[in-house]
């Protein structure tokens, strides 16, 4: 190799070297018991995270991240996208208020516009997404912040087809109108396609045909060969990422770079959910970090040797997230600041000292489950939830009316517990959940008493 060529390589490294893996963590804030930003930044540093992503531009967090050398990703909230798309001044004001005061002491490197927009029902925002990104980019240029890359994280449901990976194709309703302009913007600005990809959700949708070890990235468990390309897959994550690569290739952008905006595995969940436990969460996240920090980078079967920067979801278990119990249990850290399990996001730790608890819910729970009121919750809110459950018809609350078999004891907690169980038993299959804004919990202990029989679900 000539001296001149060596100098050229040093000055202009190949594209795969432009970005290091540097796995990071998603710092969600949907909890009423989380540590202060200053303490959280200490925890992030103890995890050896190279990056952190927040879901807004919280000034206290950005202040706490000053002079840490941690790369930071901030986000324009979904509800501001339409206004910014229509008004350049709105974009300028957002950048002036949320980025300029902190940069460059806070190492803001990515500005994400919205979160999983194509998974939301508001399709007006779908079509304003890329126009808003263009305005934000224009504002960054105006304030001489051109090093900050603009993107938007999408969920894997942006795909219409994903199996086999070679069939990867974007959803027909948004392919031409949203995703092609998005890919064009990414290509022109040398940014990334940010994707939220969870093998956990793919596995629980088909746990019979997808082996758990394959979803956990365990070696030598299972493999799959794409019948069209002959590419061999040894884990579910690579399979899902290549489906996205094929979709981008089909859309005319085969060289677009991927950035894993979210991936992870729940450390807990409800009784009617499987696989969410500390053991699986630790195994998955450790395997992902090991996989993404390999040197030289392994890439995927379709895109070998490509660096895949990433964020693990999430820093904390967040008790105010809605939905199934797993949604509140994706953290690496408990809200009190203690580790749920040992983790090193730099990938330099190959063995961990503490043993992991054996999983107990990798198979579906067999038995009855009830839904009851949580202890210590706000009584006014509980009364409102009781009224909601009883207002859904089908005789949901007849037994707790005066004279009914479950009227006594005549207490708000007792009546709400019966109403929640009755509602859930009737409406679970049509989307009803045992959550009620955090006022309800599942139990496998039968709350029935005497002649009062609480409805349950049977798994």
> To 5 degrees, how large is the angle CA 428–CA 430–CA 436?
50
* Cβ atoms 65, 42 nearer than 8 A: no
d(CA 239, CA 234): 8
The β-bridge relationship of strands 71-76 and 108-113 is parallel
Could you tell me if 168 and 246 are in contact, meaning their C-beta atoms sit under 8 angstroms apart? yes
For 161, phi and psi rounded to 5 degrees?
-135, 140
Helix (H) or strand (E) holding 236: helix 236-250
Alpha-helix residue ranges (DSSP H) falling in 26-149: 37-46, 59-64, 81-86, 88-98, 123-142
Is 58 within 8 Å of 37 (Cβ atoms)?
Answer: yes
Residues with Cβ within 8 Å of 129's Cβ and at least 6 positions away in sequence, in order, are: 81, 85, 113, 114, 117, 152, 178, 182
The answer to whether 252 and 180 have CB atoms below 8 angstroms apart is: yes
- Say how far apart CA 435 and CA 424 lie, in whole Å: 9
Q: What are the structure tokens assigned to 437, written together?
A: 């804004």
Report yes or no: 76 and 152 within 8 Å, Cβ to Cβ: no
Which residue carries 């690496």 as its tokens? 332
Q: What's the CA gap between 282 and 266, in Å, rounded? A: 9
- Catalytic positions, written as ranges: 116, 262
- Cβ-contact 19, 309 below 8 angstroms: yes
């Amino acid at each position: 190799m000539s001296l001149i060529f060596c100098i050229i390589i040093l000055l202009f490294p190949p594209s795969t070297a432009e970005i290091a893996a540097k796995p990071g963590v998603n710092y969600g804030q949907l909890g009423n018991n989380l540590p202060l930003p200053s303490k959280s930044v200490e925890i992030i540093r103890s995890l050896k995270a190279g990056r952190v992503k927040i879901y807004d531009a919280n000034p206290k967090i950005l202040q706490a991240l000053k002079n840490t050398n941690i790369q930071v990703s901030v986000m324009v909230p979904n509800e501001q996208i339409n206004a910014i798309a229509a008004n350049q001044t709105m974009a300028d004001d957002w950048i002036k208020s949320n980025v300029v005061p902190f940069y460059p002491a806070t190492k803001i490197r990515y500005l994400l516009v919205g979160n999983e927009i194509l998974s939301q029902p508001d399709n007006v925002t779908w079509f304003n997404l890329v126009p808003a990104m263009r305005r934000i980019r224009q504002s960054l240029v105006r304030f001489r912040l051109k090093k900050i890359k603009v993107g938007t994280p999408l969920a894997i449901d942006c795909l219409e087809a994903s199996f086999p990976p070679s069939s990867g194709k974007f959803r027909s309703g948004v392919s031409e109108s949203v995703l092609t302009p998005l890919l064009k913007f990414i290509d022109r600005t040398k940014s990334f396609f940010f994707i939220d990809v969870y093998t956990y959700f793919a596995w629980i949708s088909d746990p019979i045909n997808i082996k758990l070890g394959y979803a956990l990235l365990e070696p030598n468990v299972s493999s799959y060969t794409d019948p069209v390309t002959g590419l061999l897959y040894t884990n579910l994550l690579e399979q899902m990422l290549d489906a996205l690569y094929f979709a981008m290739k089909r859309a005319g952008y085969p060289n677009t770079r991927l950035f894993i905006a979210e991936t992870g595995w729940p450390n807990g969940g409800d009784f009617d959910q499987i696989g969410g436990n500390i053991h699986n969460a630790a195994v998955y996240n450790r395997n992902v970090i090991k996989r993404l920090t390999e040197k030289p980078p392994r890439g995927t079967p379709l895109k070998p040797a490509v660096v895949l920067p990433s964020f693990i979801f999430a820093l904390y278990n967040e008790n105010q997230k809605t939905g199934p119990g797993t949604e509140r249990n994706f953290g690496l850290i408990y809200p009190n600041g203690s580790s749920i399990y040992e983790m090193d996001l730099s990938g330099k730790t190959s063995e961990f000292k503490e043993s992991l608890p054996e999983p107990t819910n990798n198979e579906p729970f067999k038995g009855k489950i009830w839904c009851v009121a949580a202890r210590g919750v706000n009584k006014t809110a509980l009364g409102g939830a009781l009224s909601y459950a009883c207002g859904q018809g089908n005789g949901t609350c007849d037994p707790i009316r005066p004279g009914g078999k479950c009227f006594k004891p005549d207490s708000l907690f007792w009546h709400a517990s019966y109403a929640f169980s009755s509602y859930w038993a009737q409406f679970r299959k049509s989307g009803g959940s045992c959550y009620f804004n955090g006022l309800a919990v599942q139990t496998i202990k039968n709350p029935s008493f005497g002649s009062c029989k609480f409805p349950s679900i049977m798994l």
